[in-house]
Structure 1
Amino acid sequence: MLELQSEGKFPTYRDILLFAAAVGFRQDRRVPFAAASGDPIRSDVLMAPGFSDTLINMIAANVVDDAEILDDTRMDERFTIFEEYANGGLEYIQEQVNVRHQPAALVVIDLVTEAFADDSGAKPMSVDELLGGVTWG
């Protein structure tokens, strides 16, 4: 994390964890957090910016096949999911640093470039396609 902060130019650990969770989700790397590996993520620190909860909620909604995962009473569950993907993302980034023999900053740039180059995202649709299943009445 220190290398990502200094060389990767992430201003805070929170930003590193948000990026790592996105990487972990993209790579389908969900690794339970072991207490022996360090301190758990403090939710109050992570939730400070307004967008953090959006990423946490988006990941949980895509992982759990239950719309009620977004209920306020299940925040701890969503946070655990996030923590596991952040842990998996950090592992993946470290593996890439080791395999590529590149600094973390270059690995981060490559991961972002790969994500933007991936054309498997949302595809344009016509109005007819969007409204195909809608009935009025």
Structure 2
Amino acid sequence: MAANRIRIAKDKADLVKSLTLLDHKSGPFQTYADVIAFAAALGNQRKKRSPLGEISKREPGAIDLDIFVSRGYDMAIKLIAIAETKNPQILSHLDGELEAERLQIFEEYANGGLEILREEFRGAADYTDRLLLFLITERDNKHQSNEEFDLSKFLF
């Protein structure tokens, strides 16, 4: 594994591409790194971690880690890795094996998140609208699960 690149599964490459550009119009995300970071956060939130399998060699290919760092996603990579392993040593930049493991965890959560998005977007013509509906539903579900059952809603 190239320790300085984030890889994308071949079967998710078209989804990643379509989330950044739809019919020569901008998609919901500006860059492939934005899509991967969002997918990794979603995969981590839903506890869906999937091995990559075959790696995409064409567009989008592996993304240089510097792009994630420049966009501020290096903290997300670290937080996901430490939450998964419960080992603060995973943050070490001195150990190449730990850095490779950290990136693999991030890649696998991103792959899991992309699987979730692929299911959510099945049959959608416009991913931007579908993503907005998905986020609204997620927010509403979170609010409902945090509220206690209130019988006063049934009073006139």
**Alignment TM-score, normalising by the size of structure 2:** 0.65
The equivalent of 2:80 in structure 1 is: 59
User: CA separation in 2, counterparts of 1:111 and 1:61?
Assistant: 27
Provide the C-alpha distance between the structure 2 equivalents of 1:23 and 1:68, rounded to a whole number of angstroms: 24
Question: Structure 1 vs Structure 2: percent identity of aligned residues?
Answer: 29
1:9 lines up with 2:32 in the alignment = no
- Relative distance call for 1:64 and 1:20 in structure 2 (3 A) is same
Q: 1:95 aligns with which of 119, 129, 144?
A: 119
Who is 1:112 aligned against? Answer: 135
SS in 1 for 2:70: coil
- Does the 8 Å contact 1:93/1:104 carry over to 2? no
Contact 1:14 1:45 in 2 (8 A): no
Which residue number in structure 2 is paired with residue 29 of structure 1?
48
Give the whole-Å Cα distance in 2 for the aligned partners of 1:71 and 1:89: 25
The one-letter code of the counterpart of 2:106 is: F
- Structure 1 or 2: larger strand share? 2
**Alpha-carbon distance in 2 for matches of 1:62, 1:110:** 28
Residues 39 and 113 in structure 2, CA contact (< 8 A), matched pair in contact too: yes
CA RMSD of aligned residues (A): 2.2
Structure 2: gaps (5+ residues): 1-15, 147-156
Q: CA deviation at 1:54?
A: 0.3
Q: Shift in Å at residue 27 of structure 1?
A: 1.5
Residue 65 of structure 2 corresponds to 44
Query: Is the partner of 1:51 in helix, strand or coil?
Result: coil
For structure 1, which runs of at least 5 residues remain unmatched after alignment? 122-137
